Amino acid sequence: MKNFLLTMLAVGCAVVLFLGNMHWKEETAVSVEDVESSNGGAQAAESGAPVEQETKSNADAEAILELAKNWPEDARLRLEERIAEGVSYKIAFVGSNALDSWAPLSKAAIEEAYGEEVVSVTLQGFDGTTADYTNENKAAELADLNADLVLLEPFTLADNGVIRIEDSLLHISNWIDAVQAENSDTVFMLQPSQPIHLAGYYLTQLDALEQFANEREIVYMDHWTAWPGTQEDALLGYLTDENLPNEEGARVWSEFVNGVFVGE
């Protein structure tokens, strides 16, 4: 009888140990699955975050480049590089004292459209002739701006009757060469000064400027197409008594520039 009880006790202990071991294995398996499932989800989330962020960044870059669709191709490519680098693309508006009328409007519009951290605009106005600009070494100051793009209105109206067009073009060419010697990737664009009523030789000067731009393969932004003709009295409504753009002239000029720099 005693042996029988001991045998039954041993069997019972074995059964308890067996069942306990089976339960432990089941609990361990569930815990491992939970951990693996949790880690897998975390890893998926972690791996998905950069992809999602990269997709958004690419979409933002594409939207920005679409705004620049009217830019010269080399300028647009440089903008794409600047976006990838996270560096602001620098534009310089350079011109006569007429710059004070339209340029602040365009600066505000461009920086609002792109964000100043993406595209920033600097203004360099100058009251004088092309010879004065050269003699005062203003081209060196322009080079120091390290601009990616320069929109230049080269004082043609100030030169009218004072500086020969051949000499004006030589000055302009020297400035471009000097800036690009310091910053080879700088892109230049040219535009005329404001139109004036009943213009004479001034028209010949501007024809030569446009031809110069074509020969140098520089984009020539002819904003005169947005103004009344020089023979039309309506043009007087866009100019002050000093032949500077008034509020209406500034609006027309800036809207033309905005149409180029903020593609529509």
Question: What confidence tier does 58 reach under pLDDT thresholds 50, 70, 90?
Answer: confident
Alpha carbon distance 101, 232 (integer Å): 22
Confidence at residue 98, expressed as pLDDT on a 0 to 100 scale: 98
SS3 125: strand
Q: What average pLDDT score do residues 50-64 get? A: 69
H or E stretch including 93?
Answer: strand 89-95
Alpha carbon distance 182, 175 (integer Å): 11
Q: What is the pLDDT of residues 79-116, one digit of tens each?
A: 999 999 999 999 999 999 999 999 999 999 999 999 99
Residue 81 contacts residue 110 (beta carbons within 8 Å): no
Distant-in-sequence, close-in-space partners of 235: CB < 8 Å, separation ≥ 6: 195, 196, 197, 227, 228, 229
Residue 38 contacts residue 46 (beta carbons within 8 Å): no
Does pLDDT of 207 surpass 80? Answer: yes
Alpha carbon distance 81, 61 (integer Å): 10
Alpha carbon distance 150, 260 (integer Å): 14
Model's pTM, two decimal places? 0.80
Residue 213 contacts residue 190 (beta carbons within 8 Å): yes
CA dihedral 31, 35, 37, 43 (to 10 degrees): 180
Residue 244 contacts residue 97 (beta carbons within 8 Å): yes
Residue predicted with more confidence, 41 or 158:
158
Mean pLDDT of the chain: 86
The residue type at 204? T
Structure tokens at 47: 């791996």
Structure tokens at 124: 């360099």
Distant-in-sequence, close-in-space partners of 136: CB < 8 Å, separation ≥ 6: 128
Confidence at residue 48, expressed as pLDDT on a 0 to 100 scale: 52
Confidence at residue 244, expressed as pLDDT on a 0 to 100 scale: 98
Question: What confidence tier does 194 reach under pLDDT thresholds 50, 70, 90?
Answer: very high
Structure tokens at 229: 């003709």
Q: What is the pLDDT of residues 233-254, one digit of tens each?
A: 999 999 999 999 999 999 999 9
